[in-house]
Amino acid sequence: MTNNPLYKEYKQILQKAADLNNAAAVLGWDQEVYMPPKGAYFRGRQLATLASQAHELLTGERLGHLLDQLKFANDLNPTEQANVLRSFEDYSKNRKLSAEFVEELSMQTSACFNAWIEARRANDFSKFAPSLEKMVALKRKQAEMYQYESHPYDALLDEYEPGIRVATLDQVFNGIKTELPVILSKIKAAKQVDDSFFYRHYPKQLQWDFSMTVLKAMGYDLEAGRQDLSEHPFTTSFAPTDVRVTTRVSEDNYASLLWSTIHEGGHALYEQGMPEDEYGMPCGAAASLGIHESQSRLWENCIGRGADFWNHFFPVLKEHFPSQLSDVTANGFFKATNKVEPSFIRTEADEITYHFHVLIRYEIEKALIEGKIEVKDLPAKWNELYTHYLGITPADDVTGVLQDAHWSHGSFGYFPTYTLGSFYASQFYAHAQKAIPTLDSDIAAGQTAELLSWLRKNIHVHGRRYTSEELCELVTGERLNTGYFLNYARKKYSAVYNIDL
């Protein structure tokens, strides 16, 4: 570590801002897990105050002066140099937003989230629309404040996936429109797998107990985290030593809880793997949300929906639910977990149709930020796109336009990272299999420690030192290649449906 006094002062500023942001994250976690309904207004105020104070630190003249000098310092190690570079990028971006705007956006986020909760309970989009209209107006303003070259949505994408642009995403999603319908049509023509046993009665506590068994087996450190229930599953981190996940339970749909737990567990393992001595610094944060999503999708899909995983865990699951699974085999369970069928809920969609859910949100978000559609038109537009891409039409707002919390958080530009993450996951997993020749047999024996160690060494430890594409090239020798996902999908679903893909 350098003895440069300017670097030490710079680090103190960033860590103080991290303290404020993580204090806000604790309040945000509580808001979604335990807060009583009447606490909403003052919670919004508290979050806005913390966000404003952190923003002032991260846009202050002193930090700018320090970064200007540190850019040319010759006594910093590579990690410190990377921190300064990323901080300078962040500083330049943050300076484009006023403290007043940040506070207004934070207040509106709290109000919007609570309006979304109320609308979901009433199954009525109109209760959410006025608050969402204000949020969309703020996000359009934010895009203008950030500035952009080609598309206003580019400015918002950069918050979640630095460097990604609409032009690139259009290519990715055009590929989805071309390749995935071919796979989907062949699956539709095959005999459908039976997943009816998922909809038997599975007591909440027993589901919970098994999910905790799986979390521990994945390597999730329960002395540095916990699992709770929330309206929408999420992961939040206050430090590598305090990373929390949430899930939701349906006693009449077993698929609802377990894969949410595994998915969020993958996110949490990434956060717990961040270097503690880089707390608050760019190299102590995730490379991007696409890379973050790659970690959750790798655990959820490549592992948690794999035949090897269930060869080990199905007997354990059957001990929890002997009557519900009395007529089910491990192979039957594996096939059921990978049933492909158009459905309404993104978080419960299969790996093929999932990307159409993301495509629909991507097209809607682009149009909203461009001003080509307005909030009042969302339910109709949503239903139109579901009918077009998946051949199904939501019957109500909860299974349609109200199902995700992201827009209530102002997270425009987030959804594409889900598809990017799935593609990165397949690419990373293919290379993990090459690096660990015994990986498949390890997983079949319930052993994931070597995989987690590989992820920690190759991905987690780097934080934001590299962009997503740079990290992908470092780990796999090439930039994002969607062929890995297509090969993975064809191999898996050939086995699930006994067809040649």
Task: Name the strand (E) or helix (H) holding 277.
Answer: none
Residue 276: count other Cβ atoms within 10 Å of its Cβ. 10
- Sign of torsion, CA 43 34 416 423? positive
Fold of 5-147: Methane Monooxygenase Hydroxylase; Chain G, domain 1 (1.20.58)
Length in residues, the chain: 501
Share of residues in the chain with pLDDT > 90 (%): 90
Residues of the chain with CATH 1.10.1370.30: 166-497
The amino acid sitting at 236 is T
Cα 157 to Cα 152: distance, rounded to the nearest angstrom? 9
Place of tokens 């404040």: 145
The model's pLDDT over 135-176, given as tens digits with 9 standing for 90+, comes to 999 999 999 999 998 999 999 999 999 989 999 999 999 988
- 353: DSSP letter: T
The model's pLDDT over 227-237, given as tens digits with 9 standing for 90+, comes to 999 888 899 99
Average pLDDT over residues 211-221: 97
> pLDDT-based confidence at 44, cuts 50/70/90?
confident
- 328: DSSP letter: -
Q: In 3D, which of 321, 240, 303, 229 has the Cα closest to residue 266?
A: 303
Which residues are CB-neighbours of 6 under 8 A, at least 6 positions away? 66, 69, 70, 73
Q: pLDDT value at position 123?
A: 98
Average pLDDT over residues 244-256: 92
Distances (CA, A) of 112 to 34, 96, 106, 181, 443: 18, 24, 10, 36, 42
Active-site residue (options: 161, 264, 300, 365): 264
Q: Of 75-84, 248-257, 334-343, 420-429, which gets the smallest average pLDDT?
A: 248-257
Strand ordering across the sheet containing 242-247? 227-229, 242-247, 235-239
Reply yes or no on whether 264 is catalytic: yes
Look at residue 74 and give its three-state secondary structure. Answer: coil
Which residues are CB-neighbours of 270 under 8 A, at least 6 positions away? 286, 291, 292, 295, 296, 455, 459, 460
What CATH code is assigned to 166-497? Answer: 1.10.1370.30
Share of residues in the chain with pLDDT > 70 (%): 100
| pLDDT at position 134 over 80 | yes
Determine phi and psi for 245, rounding to 5 degrees. Answer: -125, 155
Residues of the chain with CATH 1.20.58: 5-147
Predicted TM-score (pTM) of this structure: 0.89
The model's pLDDT over 298-342, given as tens digits with 9 standing for 90+, comes to 999 999 999 999 999 999 999 999 999 999 999 999 999 999 999
The model's pLDDT over 353-383, given as tens digits with 9 standing for 90+, comes to 999 999 999 999 999 999 999 999 999 999 9
